[in-house]
């Protein structure tokens, strides 16, 4: 199994409601072809470097996945048949991929992207609130400075300040 990145540009005239089924179709093609999703990143609407199919802007999407050559061929075949795709390009980023390690990486990334639960708050039933010291004290940190304190050093004889 190889690892691929596919960047494609969708027509900017599509609304989010029209674009979502198109993107779902691509995810279905990858999952039906025994592919493994690593990342699906929508970059959004951006200006094109040159005019493509009479468009100066496009909606960019990056897909990072694992699969075989037949899966890439099917994915690109579907993009070439659909006129809503302005451009696409798929590159192989790794020749051999350990599937178990890749699944662990995907699971770890999903776990990290989940929102963290808020910490439990202490009940406020008559208990005193503890004050938190925000300013550093002389004991906690000392900062070295290059400037002498006033009165420690005489002024230079040549008049420089």
Are the CB atoms for 38 and 105 separated by under 8 Å?
Answer: yes
The model's confidence at residue 142, banded by pLDDT at 50, 70 and 90, is very low
Q: What is 2-113's CATH topology?
A: Alpha-Beta Plaits (3.30.70)
Domain boundaries, the chain: 2-113
pTM (2 d.p.):
0.65
Are the CB atoms for 27 and 19 separated by under 8 Å?
Answer: no
Burial class (CB in 10 A: 0-12, 13-18, 19+), 50: exposed
Q: Which of 104-108, 114-118, 142-146 has the lowest mean pLDDT?
A: 142-146
Residue 65 has pLDDT above 70, yes or no: yes
What pLDDT is recorded for position 131? 44
Coil/strand/helix, residue 37: strand
């Amino acid at each position: 199994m190889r690892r691929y990145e596919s960047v494609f540009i969708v027509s900017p005239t599509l609304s989010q409601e029209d674009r979502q089924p198109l993107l779902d179709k691509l995810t279905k093609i990858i999952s039906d072809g025994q592919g493994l999703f690593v990342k699906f990143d929508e970059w959004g609407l951006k200006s094109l470097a040159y005019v493509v199919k009479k468009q100066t802007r496009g909606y960019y999407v990056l897909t990072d996945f694992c699969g075989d050559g037949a899966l890439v061929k099917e994915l690109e075949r579907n993009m070439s048949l659909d006129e809503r795709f302005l451009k696409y390009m798929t590159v192989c980023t790794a020749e051999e991929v350990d599937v178990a390690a890749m699944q662990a990486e995907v699971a770890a990334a999903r776990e990290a992207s989940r929102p963290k639960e808020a910490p439990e708050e202490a009940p406020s039933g008559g208990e005193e609130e503890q004050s938190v010291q925000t300013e550093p004290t002389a004991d906690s940190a000392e900062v070295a400075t290059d400037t002498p304190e006033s009165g420690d050093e005489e002024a230079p004889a040549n008049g420089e300040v």
